[in-house]
């Protein structure tokens, strides 16, 4: 059981680094509570795997400390931390059966006999692997192998946190659903901290209670999925979460009015805009809907994508690309159209950071 704290943590792969650009992870202070489900979400190279490896102890940070329940474990090797990790590509011991695979971490820790066997069967039951216990691990499918990797972590009675490094990369979409809801159910059933690293927003948002969006070595926003979606603190978060991402348009703000793309819209709050900064408004396609010409802001339609259950309009608004949802009732869409924005869902950003505004 553990609460994980990172205190002034930073990491650079080049020794003696001083420039911010040399750091794969920029200085951060974070706390992960016992039993939480966390996701680290970000593009390749944002430092999320580096952070994960520091927590698991596969990597020693160049600066700062890692604390488990207040105890400094920065210098401790992986095997002495109560951590399990599941990797991108399934790791199984080919020559062993599923049962031996699951029992392996127990055997290494000197646990054997009836108790170990019972534990293995319990975990196999949880993961729906009971029928495969005596099969050789090498012949199994990717999703079964990934379950075994997970099982080797769960089987240890001392495990405080399980780390996942893009564990669904090699799994088919249909099976992803199954494994993901399995993970979520396991998290509910067991009091274990889970940290999940991914570049896939659907995986991150559906799995985690708290999602930490990483960009260029820092956590730019941490919050509940709905917070990240509805109130992105940074334009990067708006872009990275949501599919397609948030529309961002340059704008001029005066109090509670914004001039954008040749039109004017009313905002739900008023803003004192600092001068000399890049001012933009951001609105998600879900909160922008296509309308007949004359309504809302004027736009030109480039394309309508049929997503099956909904339609998405690809537009140009004041020369910028813009995505908006198409109401089901709207038929006969020509090239000229209007866009109506949901007032409460329009945010104002200065140099990429969200402004609070006044009610």
Partner 1 sequence: MDKPYDNRAWLLVLPVLAIVAFSAVIPLMTVVNYSVQDTFGNNQFFWNGTGWFRELLDPSTDLGGRVFDSLWRNLAFSAIILAIEVPLGIAVALAMPRHGWKVAATLVLMAMPLLVPWNVVGTIWQVFARADIGLLGYAINRLGIDYNYVADPLDAWITIIVMDVWHWTSLVALLCYAGLKSIPDAYYQAARIDGASRWAVFRYIQLPKMRRVLIIAVLLRFMDSFMIYTEPFVVTGGGPGNSTTFLSIELVKLALGQFDLGKAAAMSIVYNLIVLAVCWVFYTVMTNLDVERRRLPADR
Partner 2 sequence: MGLILDRVRRDVGAETYIHETSLRLAPGTMTVLLGPTLAGKTSLMRLMAGLDRPTAGRILTTDGRSETDVTGVAVRERSVAMVYQQFINYPNLSVFENIASPLRVKRLPKAEIDDKVRAMARLMQLEPFLERPPLSLSGGQQQRTAMARALIRGADLVLLDEPLANLDYKLREELREELPKIVRASRATVVYATTEPQEALLLGDYTAALWQGRVTQYGPSAEVYRRPTDLTTAQIFSDPPLNLLPVSKREAVIQLPGGASIPAGGALAALADGDYRLGFRAHQLALRAGPAPSLAFAGTVTVAEITGSESYVHVECAGLRWVALVPGVQELEPGAAITVHVDPAHVFVFASDDRLAHAPAVRTAA
Kindly list the residues in this chain that would bind partner 2 in the complex (CB under 8 A). 43-45, 172-174, 177, 180-181, 184-185, 188, 199-202, 205-207, 224-226, 228-230, 239-245, 284, 286, 304-309, 311, 314, 326, 328-331, 333
- Binding positions for partner 1, rule: CB under 8 A: 56, 58, 77-79, 83-85, 87-89, 91, 93-96, 104-105, 108-109, 138-139, 141-142, 149, 152-153
From the list 48, 68, 51, the residue with the least C-alpha distance to 161 is: 68
Task: Give the β-pairing of 347-350 and 353-354.
Answer: antiparallel
Report in angstroms how near the CB of residue 94 gets to partner 1 at its nearest. Answer: 5
- CA dist 268 and 346 (Å) reads 8
Element (H, E) at 54: helix 48-56
DSSP, collapsed to helix, strand or coil, labels residue 305 as strand
- The partner in contact with residue 185, picked from partner 1, partner 2, none with C-beta cut-offs of 5 to 8 angstroms by kind, is partner 2
- The partner in contact with residue 173, picked from partner 2, partner 1, none with C-beta cut-offs of 5 to 8 angstroms by kind, is partner 2
- The partner in contact with residue 225, picked from partner 1, partner 2, none with C-beta cut-offs of 5 to 8 angstroms by kind, is partner 2
Other Cβ atoms less than 10 A from the Cβ of 332: the count is 5
Alpha-carbon distance values, 47 to 10, 53, 75, 168, 204 (Å): 11, 10, 20, 19, 16
Comparison of 5 and 286: residue with beta carbon closer to partner 2: 286
- The partner in contact with residue 94, picked from partner 1, partner 2, none with C-beta cut-offs of 5 to 8 angstroms by kind, is partner 1
Report in angstroms how near the CB of residue 139 gets to partner 1 at its nearest. Answer: 7
Comparison of 29 and 95: residue with beta carbon closer to partner 1: 95
Report in angstroms how near the CB of residue 267 gets to partner 1 at its nearest. Answer: 49
- The partner in contact with residue 305, picked from partner 2, partner 1, none with C-beta cut-offs of 5 to 8 angstroms by kind, is partner 2
From the list 347, 217, 339, the residue with the least C-alpha distance to 288 is: 339
The region, left, alpha or beta by phi > 0 then psi within -120 to 50, assigned to residue 126 is: alpha
Report in angstroms how near the CB of residue 84 gets to partner 2 at its nearest. Answer: 21
- The partner in contact with residue 152, picked from partner 1, partner 2, none with C-beta cut-offs of 5 to 8 angstroms by kind, is partner 1
Comparison of 67 and 91: residue with beta carbon closer to partner 1: 91
Looking at the DSSP bridge assignments, the partners of residue 12 are 23
Report in angstroms how near the CB of residue 3 gets to partner 1 at its nearest. Answer: 20
Residues 6+ positions from 320 with CB-CB distance below 8 Å: 247, 249, 250, 261
Looking at the DSSP bridge assignments, the partners of residue 337 are 299
- The partner in contact with residue 87, picked from partner 1, partner 2, none with C-beta cut-offs of 5 to 8 angstroms by kind, is partner 1
Report in angstroms how near the CB of residue 98 gets to partner 2 at its nearest. Answer: 21
- The partner in contact with residue 1, picked from partner 1, partner 2, none with C-beta cut-offs of 5 to 8 angstroms by kind, is none
Comparison of 21 and 173: residue with beta carbon closer to partner 1: 173
- CA dist 206 and 41 (Å) reads 12
For every residue of 79-121, DSSP letters joined together read GGSSEEEE-SS----TTSBHHHHHHHHHHHTT--HHHHHHHHH
């Amino acid at each position: 059981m553990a609460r994980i704290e990172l205190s002034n943590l930073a990491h650079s792969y080049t020794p003696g680094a001083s420039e911010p650009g040399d750091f794969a992870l920029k200085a951060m202070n974070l706390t992960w509570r016992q039993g939480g489900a966390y996701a680290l979400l970000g593009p390749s190279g944002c430092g999320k795997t580096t952070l994960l490896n520091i927590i698991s102890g596969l990597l020693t940070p160049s600066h700062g400390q890692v604390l488990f329940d207040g105890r400094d474990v920065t210098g401790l090797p992986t095997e002495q931390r109560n951590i399990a990790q599941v990797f991108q590509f399934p790791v199984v011991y080919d020559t062993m059966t599923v049962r031996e695979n699951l029992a392996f971490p127990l055997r290494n820790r000197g646990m054997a006999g009836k108790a170990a066997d019972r534990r293995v069967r319990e975990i196999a039951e949880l993961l729906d692997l009971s029928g495969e216990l005596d099969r050789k691990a090498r012949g199994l499918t990717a999703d079964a192998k990934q379950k075994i990797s997970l099982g080797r972590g769960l089987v240890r009675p001392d495990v405080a946190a399980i780390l996942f490094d893009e564990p669904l990369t090699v799994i088919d979409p249909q099976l992803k659903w199954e494994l993901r809801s399995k993970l979520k159910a396991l998290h509910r059933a067991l009091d274990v901290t889970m940290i999940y690293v991914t570049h896939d927003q659907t995986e991150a948002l559906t799995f985690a209670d708290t999602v930490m969006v990483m960009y260029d070595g820092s956590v730019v926003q941490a919050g509940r999925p709905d917070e990240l979606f509805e109130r992105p603190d940074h334009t990067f978060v708006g872009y990275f979460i949501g599919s397609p991402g948030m529309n961002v348009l340059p704008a001029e703000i005066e109090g509670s009015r914004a001039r954008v793309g040749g039109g004017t819209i009313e905002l739900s709050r008023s803003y004192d805009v600092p001068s000399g900064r890049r001012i933009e408004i951001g609105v998600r396609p879900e909160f922008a809907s296509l309308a007949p010409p004359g309504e809302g802001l004027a736009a030109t339609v480039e394309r309508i994508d049929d997503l099956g259950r909904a339609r998405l309009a690809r537009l140009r608004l004041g020369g910028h690309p813009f995505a908006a949802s198409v109401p089901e009732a709207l038929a006969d869409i020509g090239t000229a159209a209007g866009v109506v924005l949901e007032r409460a869902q329009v945010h104002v950003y200065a140099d990429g950071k969200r402004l609070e505004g006044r009610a």
